[in-house]
Structures are given as structure tokens and as C-alpha cells.
Structure 1
Amino acid sequence: MKIFMIGGTGLLGSEGAKELIKRGHSVSSISLPPIPTGANIPKEMELSLGNYMEMSDEEIRKQMTGCEGFVFAAGVDERVEGPAPIYDLFYKFNIAPLKRLLTIAKECHVKHVVILGSYFAYFDRTNPEWKLAATHPYIRSRVDQEKMALSFADKDMNVAVLELPYIFGTQPGRKPVWTFLIEQIRSMKSFTMYPKGGTTMVTVKQVAQCIAGAIENNIGGNNYPVGYYNMTWKEMLRIFHKYMGIPDKKIITIPTWMYAYGCRSIVKEQKKNNIDGGLKMVEFAKVMTANTFIGKSIIVEKLGVEPDDIDKAIGDSVKLCLDILDGKSEAIGMKGE
């Protein structure tokens, strides 16, 4: 199958391309420069560097013509801050361009579409009492993105949205999202304080298997909650500590109210700088301190995801973060950093 991808040089896109190529598919991609130094981009991928958002419909159409598959592995996440209302920024990068791309894909008779979304959309469905979309602009944008994308599904086009959780693994030259947590742990000299709760997680390799599995197996319009390894924050932090060389450092669990109180300083700083965040941090405390776990059966049975070494994937992420913070490695970040 010939597959067109937006974001083929990113952490998830490049791993997805490798998996697709390994399975016998051909992949072409448009990606924003620069390519991270040392990034292991599959040489078999046909790559064009540029900003797809600045390309005309006809330029995109030329890229999609003859393709049976399309993967959207781009956009921005909740770390992005900007002028209020921040939802407009998420709409600009996550929804509007995808709607245009899906419209062109349908014109080009693309049959299989995979979109990389967020597991917050899953928890918005399963925990309506949290009012996630109503409270957090980023989560609202992911829910709206998902609804829009699935509206394109019909007998001629299969659409899969992967609701991705926390992901571990690295791409040389690209800054991991976990750098902020390494900095936090280092700033707490005597012990590490963190809230109760926990999360589901996967490795980069497993995300790649989700992408390929959805391209090959999804029928109709479906969202797939992605989760494989469920850990409490304390369990995860023990692995962080191990790879940071501080395995005996004590972890103290703080109550929800204390975490929420600490988030007030983030909100205060945002207001001072006239910026808005994708997550309303004080209200987000109830999510952060919950066990946001997802069973692995769906992605195993429907997408063919296999076990991986989550301990090693976390370790690789931690090591790269340390090298970047200590000036041993150069890395590029994400939009807005």
C-alpha cells in the first residue's frame, strides 16, 4: 500500500514509517525542517521538507494522488501556551488543517486514514463528571478533532483515531517531553514529591504498531484508546530515579489539594504574561491524581500490538533528557518551545 504521512520525521511519525515500510508498504511524507541531528529517518521514505499548511490544495493533492493510506502525525499538544483564547491556536494546528487534508484525501480516493490523537478524548467519554472538554481548551480541541475526523468515515474511507497516552522512547536530536520532569526531580534535593494517581503508557515502538495495525485492519470510523502498561506515578518515578542514578531517593505522595495549590503559581505566571494554557492546571489536579489507566486488550486484539520493554524505553528517555540538560546533546523541541 502507498501511504502519505504528515509528520514523517517526528518521533512518532518516523517510527510509524519504519513499521509500515517493514511490513511492505511505501511511505512518502511532508515534514517541517529541520530534521533532528542523528535522527534515524528511514531511508526508504520519500521525504519532502516544507510546511504543508502553507501549501496549496493542488500541491497536497499531487502528494496524495495514488495513495491508499494517509497518516496525520502532526499538530501541537497541551504544552503549547499562547494568547487567550488558546483554543484558537489548537484549532489552527490540530483541526482546521486536518479537515482540509481529509477533504483532499477523500477527493483522491484514499481508503485508510490514521490520526494521532489524545487519550484525554477517551477519558472525556468515560468520565463525564470530570467535564474535561468543557474545562480544558486542549482537551476540547482533541474531542472536536476526533468528531470532525470520524465524520469523514464512510463505505469508501476508513478512519481511525489513536487516543495516545504518555509515550516513552527517543529520537536522537529531539527533546523528549519528559525533560520538565527531570528538572523537577533534580530541583527537589532531599526527596521527590509527587501526587497520588497514575497513568497508562506505551513505547514508541508500540505506537508504530498501532499506526500500522490501524492502516491495515481498521474498518469504518473508530477511536482506539491506546494503553498497555499501567503504573502509579510512584512506580514510574522509581524507574526515573534508577536511571538518574538516585535509586534510593525517597518519594513522598502529596494530597490532591496540595498539588492543586502548587498549580496556582503556574496560573498566576500565565496571567502575568497574558498567556493561556491548554490545561486549566488547578482543575486538572483531579485528573492528575486519578489512575488514568487503560486496558491493553483493544490494541492487542484489533491492532496487533505486542509487548515491549517499557523499563528500557523510560530509561532511554531519561538518559536523553539528562544529556540535553547537561549540555552533552543538542536537540530541537516542539512548536512553541
Structure 2
Amino acid sequence: MARPSAGSGVGRCGVRILVVGGSGLIGAHVVTVLRERGHDVTTVARTARPGIEHVLDVESASVDELRPLLAGHDGVVYAARSDEHRVLRKPIYPEFRRDIVEPVVRLLTAARQEGLTRSVVMGSYYTYYDRLRPQWRLADRHAYIRCRLEQAREGRAAAGPDLPVSVLELPFVFGRAGDRLPNWAGPLERWARSRSPLVAPTGGTAATSARSVAVVAVDALEQARGEDIPVADENLTWNDMFGRIATTVGRPRRVGRLPAGVVRAALRSGGLAQGLGGKESGINPTHLADVLLAELFIEPTTGRPLEPAFRDTFVDPAPSA
């Protein structure tokens, strides 16, 4: 296959793409959209699953181990998941850097050496807000956000000028891929199905579906873009989100207001408890209230409805006959 030049729009003529994390929630949808558009796809994941062609722990693989995997491809998608709320012993930054930054640097170094011409990295909308609201000092206060910024900056440096790197800045992602769900879906579903009252603070979040993320990712690959791309289908207040989840699971009810002071006190207590235990999380609860109580909205949105993704997330699919 002739390699398209960097920056060229390939449309539907077909490129060969390696999807890292191809069995995950987002990666599986990226694979589907790529194939729908006539592209060749190779999948890799750390564990063997149906549809995975190569089993490799990319997070620990060396550049020399990655190069044969990338050889013959035109582009690569990095869709491995990272849990920003993991609690680890201090200092947490080195561990998060090993998990988030270093694998992408090695992968894009190998991709550059193999002559790839396009790439997509799944990132976080916190980096969008770091640009938009520098007064929040997000990178200084949260190891996860610092590492996401370093992932984009150092990944692009490793890729060099001939390998554009699109970083998709993702908010809450709804949807399902087989048995893969968002890591927060289970607790929210159990809460919505329970008899406990629903309460929500002020503020809210952008939200998208895994399918929408995949469409944006494939567009970025086809166009060989090298930009930060915030992705959102809708902007939801926390009240709207929790109410829609409750309706989706068949337990519709009013969502009460959770006072901001209660939220701040609870998060400060959580941060204090972590500190006393010699632990940290990627998102520091001591400084989380200012973010949680804000409207973490993205403009413009795609306008795609989220109802199908809500159902996919919170309603078990009917068993196959």
C-alpha cells in the first residue's frame, strides 16, 4: 500500500491502522468505525480476547518490541485506559508517569521510526480546561492532569514533525463494547436503582458516546490532523445526568440539591485521610471541589443525542438466542 503523505486527507480510500487497546470500550468502537469506512485494522491488547490479533503489554514494551508491530501501518491509535482516581502510596507522580506518559512516548518513537503518517491518542478534557482556566492550576494540583499534559507534549516531541498526533480530550464517555463499560458505570447504576435519594451538586460535565469518540478519531486519522480535539455530544448538569440515569434504569425520581459546602467538606476530609495514610490519588480530592462544582462544558458540541449511549451503558443487552 502506498503511504499517504502526512497532512493528506485520505477520505475512504483506505489506510492501515494499529489500534492499541482494541478490546476496550473506546478502542473497540474505533475498530468498528475504521472497518465501516474500508480501512485495514490490526488490534493489540494486553490480554487475549476475541478479535485481538496481538497480545502485548504496550505499557511496558520497548521501542524495539513495538517497531515490528507497527511495521507496514500508516497510523496508530492509543486507546489504553488509565484510572485517574487510583489511590497509591506517595509519591504518586512517578507511577502515573510510567502508566500515562512513557508508553505513548515509546509508541510514537517507534511509529516515527517506522514511517507512520498519522496517530491519535485518547486523552482527557482536563487538559482542555488547563488551557481554558489556567487559574485553576490543574497540573500543579493533580498528578493525573500533569501527566496528561506531559503525554501530549512529550508524545508529539517523540513523533517529530512528520507524524501528526491528534489528542482527543474526552469527558464522561457513555456506551458499551461487549462487556466493557465505563469504570464509573457500575456505582452510578447501583445508586440509581437503589432506594437512596438522588442528590447532585451545582456544576456539570460534558459527555459523549464511545461511538462519537470513534467517529472523531477516524476523522482525525483520515485527515492526518495533529491537534488537540475536545469532544462532546452534550453538556449536562450533574442534576440532569443523574436524573437521566435513573430514568434509563427504570427508577425515575427527583434529584435533590447537594450543598456546595457539604461537597467541599467531604472532599477535603478525603484528601486529609489520604495524606494521613501516606497516599495520594491521581485527582487530588483536596482541590477537586473547585472543578466538580464548575460547569465543565465543551463548546461546540456535536449535537448527537446521548440516549442510545445511556441505554447501552445502563440497560443490559438482551441475551442472544
TM-score after normalising by structure 2: 0.87
Q: Distance in 2 between matches of 1:283 and 1:29?
A: 38
Q: What is aligned with 1:280?
A: 284
- Say yes or no: does 1:261 pair with 2:275: no
From the superposition, tell whether residues 55 and 286 of structure 1 become closer, same or farther in structure 2 (CA, over 3 Å).
closer
Quickly say closer, same or farther: Cα 1:291–1:16, change in 2 above 3 A.
same
Query: Could you tell me how far 1:55 is from its partner in structure 2?
Result: 3.6
Superposition pairs for residues 210-289 of structure 1, below 5 Å?
210-219=216-225, 221-247=226-252, 249-271=253-275, 273-289=277-293
Distance in 2 separating the partners of 1:151 and 1:98: 11
Matches within 5 A, 1:96-115: 96-115=102-121
* Separation of aligned partners in 1, 2:169 and 2:120: 11
Once the 2 structures are TM-superposed, how far is the Cα of residue 273 of structure 1 from its aligned partner? 4.7
User: Which amino acid in the other structure matches residue 43 of structure 2?
Assistant: S
Alignment RMSD = 2.3
- Equivalent residue number for residue 332 of structure 1: none
1:293 corresponds to 2:297: yes
- Count of aligned residue pairs for this structure pair: 304
C-alpha offsets along residues 26-79 of structure 1, whole Å, 9 cap, x if unaligned?
1112201153xxxxx6x5xx6112312444433311111111101111141312
Cα distance change of structure 1 residues 272 and 245 upon mapping to structure 2, 3 Å threshold: farther
Partner residue in 2 for 1:3: 17
C-alpha distance in 1 between matches for 2:68 and 2:160: 23
Match of 2:306 in 1: 310
**Alignment partner of 1:52: what SS?**
coil
Decide whether aligned partners of structure 1 residues 124 and 313 sit closer, same or farther in structure 2, where only a CA change above 3 A counts: same
Q: Identify which of 160, 171, 183 aligns with 1:165.
A: 171
Cα distance in structure 2, aligned partners of 1:188 and 1:265 = 26
SS state of the match for residue 72, structure 2?
coil
Other-structure match for 1:334? none
Amino acid at match of 2:96: F
Shift of 1:225: 1.2
Amino acid at match of 1:180: P
Q: How far 1:289 moved relative to its partner?
A: 1.0
Deviations along 1:70-106, whole A, 9 cap, x unmatched?
1111141312221112121210111011111111111
Aligned counterparts of 2:161 and 2:180: Cα–Cα separation in 1: 39
Instruction: Please list, as runs of the form range in 1=range in 2, the aligned pairs for 1:113-192 lying within 5 A after superposition.
Output: 113-152=119-158, 154-177=160-183, 178-185=185-192, 189=196, 191-192=197-198
For structure 1, the residue ranges without an aligned partner over 5 or more in a row are 36-40, 301-306, 330-337
Tell whether the 8 Å contact from 1:228 to 1:295 is kept in structure 2 after alignment.
Answer: no
Cα distance, 1:269 vs. partner?
A: 4.4
Pair 1:262–1:77, CA change in 2 (3 A): same
User: Once superposed, which parts of structure 1, at least 4 consecutive aligned residues long, lie more than 6 Å away?
Assistant: none
Match of 2:315 in 1: 319
**Structure 2 residue 24 is the aligned partner of structure 1 residue 19:** no
- 1:94-125 CA-partner distances (Å, limit 9, x unpaired): 10111111111111011001100000000001
1:89 maps onto 2:95 in alignment: yes
1:315 positional shift: 2.5
TM-aligned CA deviation for residue 290 of structure 1: 0.9
Distance in 1 (CA, whole Å) between partners of 2:314 and 2:249 is: 7
Which amino acid counterpart does residue 204 of structure 2 have in structure 1?
G
1:227: how far off?
Answer: 1.6
- Normalising to structure 1: TM-score of the pair? 0.83
CA distance, structure 2, for counterparts of residue 54 and residue 232 of structure 1: 38
Question: 1:258 Cα shift?
Answer: 1.2
Is residue 73 of structure 2 the alignment partner of residue 67 of structure 1? Answer: yes
Read off the aligned partner of 2:305 and give its amino acid letter.
D
Distance 2:293 2:206 in 1: 13
Structure 2 gaps, min length 5 = 1-14
Amino acid at match of 2:292: M
Map Cα deviations across residues 292-323 of structure 1 (whole Å, 9 max, x no partner). Answer: 111136xx6xxxxxx54302211321235xx9
Are the equivalent residues in 2 in contact too, given 1:150–1:222 (CA < 8 A)? no
Deviates more, 1:178-187 or 1:94-103: 178-187
